Amino acid sequence: MPMDRSEPAPRSSVADETPAFAPLYRQIKALMMRDLQAGVWRPGAAIPSEKDLALRFHVSQGTVRKAVNELAADNLLVRRQGKGTFVATHAEENVQFRFLRLRPDDGDAGRMQRSFIDCRRFAASAEVARWLGLKSGDLVLQVRRVLSFRGRPVVFDDIWLPGKLFKGLTGERLASYRGPLYGLFESEFGVRMIRAEERIRAVAAGAEAALHLGVAPGAPLLSVERLSMTYGDAPVELRRGLYDTTAHHYRNQLS
């Protein structure tokens, strides 16, 4: 698609973010993404109005509106009627469990309860380092936990995080935090998960998973391997979860 010639290119350089032939609103989107990544606009904060952004970038409000619409569709911004546009945050009720697609069969989407089994630091294996874009031997933080619904264990999670990004994160801090895990990562470590890729397969429960989930060894489980990324598609979390789907199902919306 050729560039919209009705407006000059924005004065801030976007050469590193978008190709020269990108539509103008995509260039504005890239500039706004750069501000989000740099922390100019913090999670939960209001961004400038479309009029102010148009003046800043020397483009029309319509061009800014297209950029904001795409960022909202990407769940990076949230529009609030009569209040403005805000940076999305995992602390918000409607996005707290955006990446957790497990739903109870009876439709009652009540909260999951969590219990942490372990939290420790060690040198990354070659496999974990590869997934997280680290060097073999770099420090990683491994978190193990169980998610329960109505007192019944449903998910057994293994989570690996880059040690440098999560200095100071301990099992005690995890256990005392009452909000969503990604909310903690966002508010205290400045790491925002904005996108994830998953691989799903059916597996048989091993002895350890059977113990934590209260199922028989060999029982069918759903294995969900997730790589979560922050701005610039930088990987910041590897998660391998085993789901007991006896009374739950994995639900996704396709468009």
Q: What is the DSSP letter of 142?
A: E
Domain check: are 35 and 126 in the same one?
Answer: no
Domain check: are 35 and 103 in the same one?
Answer: no
**Model pLDDT, residue 82:** 85
When divided into structural domains, the chain yields a total of: 2
With cut-offs at 50, 70 and 90, classify the pLDDT of residue 98.
low
Domain housing 72: 24-87
Residue 111 CA to residue 161 CA, distance in Å, equals: 24
Domain check: are 216 and 111 in the same one?
Answer: yes
Domain check: are 64 and 120 in the same one?
Answer: no
**Final residue before a domain boundary, out of 64, 87, 110:** 87
**CATH classification at residue 51:** 1.10.10.10
- Exposure string over 161-183, b if 16+ CB within 10 A, otherwise e: bbbebbeebeeeeeeeeeebbbb
**8 lies in a domain?**
no
Higher-confidence position of 194 and 202: 202
Token pair, residue 1, equals 């698609």
Span 205-248, pLDDT tens digits: 999 999 999 999 999 999 999 999 998 899 999 999 999 999 99
**CATH classification at residue 216:** 3.40.1410.10
The contacts found for 194-197 with CB under 8 angstroms, 24 or more apart, are 194/74, 194/75, 194/76, 194/229, 194/230, 194/231, 195/228, 195/229, 195/233, 196/99, 196/226, 196/227, 196/228, 196/229, 197/226, 197/227, 197/229
**Final residue before a domain boundary, out of 42, 64, 87:** 87
Domain check: are 79 and 138 in the same one?
Answer: no
